[in-house]
Amino acid sequence: MTIAKTVDLVVAAKRAGYAVAAVNIVDDLSMRAIIAAAEQAQSPIILQTSVKTVKSMGAEIISGIYQHAAGNASVPVALHLDHCPDRSVITEVIRHGWTSVLFDASDRPLQQAWDETREVVAECHAAGIGVESEIENIVGVEDGVGSDEATHSYSNAKIVEVADDTGTDLLAPALGTAHGLYKASPVLQYDRVAEIGRLTDKPVVLHGGTGLSPEDFQRFIDNGVAKINISTTIKLAYMHAARDHIAKAEQTGKWEPVKMFDDINAAVQATVIEHIGEFGSKGAAGGVSA
């Protein structure tokens, strides 16, 4: 159980009634911490990379670290490209071994989004990797992608029609959540997940998981969500651990970067383990084929 396909992990989660955590990495330290957390909880895990992270670290470097770290892990680990409207980046990560991509066409008119999604699915499926599709925008800006305004919204029937026609593997509809930190209480659309589930067997993905309660997560999972994205809360754990370590270093005069890395690792691991528990995937690694 090492390198796994994203779609396989999500389908297994849907079948067993839990959600697999899809956690955004920012560097090799966060990647290794997330995998270590999954191993401790014996949970499958999806590592996510933003377009910004791919461009910052480089697809070849990320792929090399992933292949080594996941290849030696005791749990299934997949690698997913999050929110990507840039098809050249999709082509690049396909070449470097990602196991799935989210083609974000939410900034396009419906017909254009539909046509381009079909083309992306064809390209990805030819390489044996899965596609998550977003054609209506989920509010919030994440790593420079997205919008604070809802611009495209479609019926459940239309979303499923597009997914069926294009061959999309995973659906990312707007469910009332938002990327980033909430400025007001969200109006969560649990029933929409169940309604989409009555129209298709394709798994539904929840974006904007930061800030939701364990009860919120459970209700979404009970209605059929099988993949939950976590990004902002990981960034906060990472940065707060670094901030606190630096503040302590200022007081003590002890400047040891490796010790700071240890603190960041511990904070990220604790956050991931907490979410794995909330999503119900603890101990589920043995039930997934990598």
Give pLDDT tens digits for 147-186. Answer: 445 566 899 999 999 999 999 999 999 998 875 554 455 6
pLDDT of residue 279: 98
Distance CA 238, CA 222 (A): 30
Residue 154: enclosing H or E segment and its boundaries?
Answer: none
Beta strands in the chain (DSSP E): 20-24, 45-49, 77-84, 100-104, 130-134, 140-142, 145-147, 170-171, 204-206, 225-230
Instruction: Give the pTM.
Output: 0.92
Q: How many residues does the chain have?
A: 290
Q: Which tens digit of pLDDT belongs to each residue from 196-241? A: 999 999 999 999 877 789 999 999 999 999 999 999 999 999 999 9
Closest CA to 143 of 100, 101, 82: 82
Distance CA 200, CA 105 (A): 21
Chain centre to alpha carbon of residue 39: 18
Residues tagged active-site: 82
Q: Both tokens of residue 186?
A: 């969200």
Q: Is the confidence at residue 253, as pLDDT, over 70?
A: yes
